[in-house]
Amino acid sequence: MRGMLETVMANTSWVVGKDDLSFWHDNWTGKGPLRDLYPDDIEQNIKINEVINNSGTWYWEKLHYEVHDHWKIILQNKFQLREELDKAIWDPARNGDFSIKSSWEFWRTADQETERLQWIWHKVVPTKIQVFYWKMWKNIIPVDGVVSKLVCLPSKCSCFIDSKCEDSDHLFVRGELATHIWSHFSRFCGVKMVANQTYWARQGTWFKAANKSTQMGVARGILPGLICWEIWKARCKFRYEETEIRHDLLIREITSCVQDCLKNVTLNVDKNFSDTISIQLLQLHTITVLVRKTIVVRWCKPPVGFFKLNTNGSIADNLCGAGGIVRNSRGVMVFAFSAALVPGTNTTAELYVLLLGLQHCQHNIWFPLLVEVDSEVVANWYNKHNKVPSRLRGM
Ligand SMILES: [Zn+2]
């Protein structure tokens, strides 16, 4: 705690304001009180705001002790008198305010971001498995081989035949159980099974076959972690609860775990044959990407001797407008009109303009007539597919 307090003090400086910080005796520079720079006792009591004024002028002559030149430079560059109250500045935080997050970032030694670590912390993997996997990365999973470095410990792995001392490579890759599990998933996922690998090498083989954009790519990236997690759980149950390890159950657990991890993620579906088979074997849920179909709509001439009426009505800001056009069988316009309508809805506008168009055609005897409107509702009424609401029947 003491060491920590010193570290905090060393990384705290002050915005010097109107308060009474002592020039010699307070740690306002973040490097300790300035009196500590002197072998003799400093007896002068003088406030910082007596040594510096608002415009940034320093009155060194007021001090009874000479300040070293390099300190003068540091102070002149770093501090100025402000209007507000004195305020402690926590140097590691960007805004100067102390926070747990900035302190954590300050104290911790971050791992260098590597391809392997990105798989370990992959967002689809549940947090408890991420943390377990990270511990494997640090080689601190308490297998016998790790514990026996601290205390003298006899060790026997969980294999039935030819049991050995339990270390990470044996438990997670080379032992009977691990070999069985890895060969199953190697077959299912199309990853080459290399015998006698260390755990590190096995992880590398799988990551090489992984990628972040396809379903099977991600499955191969996260499976090494899931496999080890389930092996570890089964090993602990066997040791502490004397629960029998069943290979088939373990495989089922791992498969359902990978299915859960991938069920809500939209990823590209793998196109190659081998990956398609793997997806079926693992029964991964395939998220179908909706493909919008584009329909080309174009105007066609009516048959010889026919006329065609096209109408359109719309509404914007409660103003209704509509228009229509009549063409003959050669596609030549014979009549066009537009109209401002009383406020209504898109449908009433469509309906009115159809009525206007039909009246014109009737008046000019443009028959036989084909009609095209862009309202499905109106078309269905007209063709008697749906009943016209009673309030509109009068039209
Ligand atoms: Zn074993």
Q: What is the CATH number of the domain that holds 339?
A: 3.30.420.10
Where does the pLDDT of residue 394 fall: very low under 50, low under 70, confident under 90, or very high at 90 and above? low
Computed from CA positions of residues 54, 59, 62, 66, in that sequence, does the dihedral angle turn out positive or negative? positive
Query: Considering only 154-158, 186-190, 279-283, 355-359, which range has the smallest mean pLDDT?
Result: 154-158
Q: Is the peptide bond before 39 cis (omega within 30 degrees of 0)?
A: no
Residues 101 and 125 in one domain: no
Residues 152 and 233 in one domain: yes
Q: In this structure, are residues 382 and 354 in contact, taking their beta carbons and an 8 Å threshold?
A: yes
Using alpha carbons, select from 89, 87, 85, 88 the residue that is nearest to residue 18.
Answer: 85
Q: Between the ranges 10-24, 223-237, 292-306, where is the mean pLDDT highest?
A: 223-237
Which tops the pLDDT comparison, 49 or 372?
A: 372
Whether residue 126 has pLDDT greater than 80: yes
Whether residue 289 has pLDDT greater than 70: no
Measure 187 CA to ligand 1 centroid, in angstroms. Answer: 22
Residues 103 and 133 in one domain: no
Residues 253 and 233 in one domain: yes
Domain boundary among 282, 297, 326: 282
Measure 201 CA to ligand 1 centroid, in angstroms. Answer: 19
CA distance 146 to 172: 14
CA distance 216 to 210: 8
Average pLDDT over residues 63-68: 84
Q: Is 185 a domain residue?
A: yes
Measure 164 CA to ligand 1 centroid, in angstroms. Answer: 5
CA distance 167 to 287: 40
Residues 364 and 219 in one domain: no
Residues 40 and 58 in one domain: yes
Residues 128 and 220 in one domain: yes
Number of domains observed in the structure of the chain: 3
Domain boundary among 107, 126, 157: 107
Q: Is 132 a domain residue?
A: yes
Measure 182 CA to ligand 1 centroid, in angstroms. Answer: 15
Residues 134 and 267 in one domain: yes
What torsion do the CA atoms of 229, 234, 235, 237 make, to the nearest 10 degrees?
A: 130
Where does the pLDDT of residue 151 fall: very low under 50, low under 70, confident under 90, or very high at 90 and above? confident
Measure 206 CA to ligand 1 centroid, in angstroms. Answer: 22
Q: Is 388 a domain residue?
A: yes
Measure 174 CA to ligand 1 centroid, in angstroms. Answer: 8
Measure 156 CA to ligand 1 centroid, in angstroms. Answer: 7
How confident is the model at residue 2, as a pLDDT? 59
pLDDT tens per residue across span 215-251: 899 999 999 999 999 999 999 999 889 888 888 999 9
Measure 395 CA to ligand 1 centroid, in angstroms. Answer: 88
Using alpha carbons, select from 372, 369, 371 the residue that is nearest to residue 307.
Answer: 369
Measure 232 CA to ligand 1 centroid, in angstroms. Answer: 13
Q: In this structure, are residues 325 and 309 in contact, taking their beta carbons and an 8 Å threshold?
A: yes
Q: Is 139 a domain residue?
A: yes
Measure 70 CA to ligand 1 centroid, in angstroms. Answer: 66
Measure 204 CA to ligand 1 centroid, in angstroms. Answer: 22
pTM over 0.95: no
Residues 122 and 37 in one domain: no
Which tops the pLDDT comparison, 27 or 117?
A: 117
Full domain range(s) for residue 12: 2-107
Measure 183 CA to ligand 1 centroid, in angstroms. Answer: 16
Q: Is 355 a domain residue?
A: yes
Token pair recorded at residue 6: 């010193």
Q: Which long-range contacts (CB under 8 A, 24 or more apart) does 276-283 make?
A: 277/190, 278/188, 278/189, 278/190, 278/216, 278/219, 279/215, 279/216, 281/188, 282/188, 282/189, 282/219, 282/255, 282/258, 283/255, 283/259
Measure 102 CA to ligand 1 centroid, in angstroms. Answer: 45
How confident is the model at residue 164, as a pLDDT? 81
Which tops the pLDDT comparison, 150 or 389?
A: 150
